[in-house]
Amino acid sequence: MDAGFVGIGQMGHGMAQRLLEAGHRLTVWNRDAAKADAIVEQGAARASTPAEAAKAGIVFTMLANDAALEAVTEGEGGILSAGEGVLHVSCSTVSVALTRRLTEAHRAKGQRFVSAQVLGRPDAAAAGKLSIIAGGADEDLERLQPLFGAMGQKVLRMGAEPAMAAVSKLAANASIAAIIETLTEAYRIAGSEGVAAETMADFFRETDFGSRMMTVYGPLIATEKFEPAGFPLRLGRKDVGLALDAAGEGADIPFIRLLAARMDKIIGADGGTRDWAALGQPPKA
């Protein structure tokens, strides 16, 4: 299949590479063109604008935040200017409000829009083991299945509206933040009697506490492997903030509000560039 890909960062690189390896024809664009060099060397074509990448008919975007997604979609040379019939697949973790607005904007231009946010870190993207959290029309999701199959191990359909996938991903990321804090505090409790953090990490993996998130984050926290960051704390704070916005000002979610305040304190002190697995640690000196 022909596809475009906009956003060749840590996650986007692995996803785009999987599409190429599966035999799909890919056209890529990245704001910093040099970051797309490796993918182009592997056989992808290089677009001069996001709109040119979208001429493939299907275009994926994988970007850091709302502002970046708005720029490549609505800005000069953006996806909305690519003409009718384009199917835009947004894999970025962004706000529900923007997801709703882009759904309508694409519809007004005779285009299609799907939210297909992903659960997994850069290593999972490179291995094609992402979980894809999808929201959109059934016919669009069916059309995308061969491409999803190259990038992920499962597709979780959350509903017919793209916003349903967006809010599901925000809920998931808020829950991951809670798991990180829980594990960090558990290690400290056990450590009060000399139990090694690595031993507790094994304990959580091997007992009924075991889960994918504990398996991923338990060892990172136990060994304090926070750099280089697979997912920086500042981006995690963005996602937790979007989850709070989605829930609404009066939502009874005190733990998530506490986590947001803790993140703010760390980011204010050291910039939040370490992996968000460091959520339960003091700021970097």
Nearest Cα to Cα of residue 113 among 96, 126, 100: 100
Number of CB atoms found within 10 A of residue 258's CB: 12
Measured in residues, the chain has a length of 285
Q: Which of 169, 225, 238, 265 is catalytic?
A: 169
77 phi and psi angles, rounded to 5 deg = 70, 20
Q: How far apart are CA 120 and CA 213, in angstroms?
A: 10
Active site residue 55: no
Q: How far apart are CA 239 and CA 279, in angstroms?
A: 14
Residue that is written with structure tokens 């094994």 in the block: 202
Q: How far apart are CA 271 and CA 266, in angstroms?
A: 7
Q: How far apart are CA 54 and CA 52, in angstroms?
A: 5
Give the catalytic positions in this structure: 169
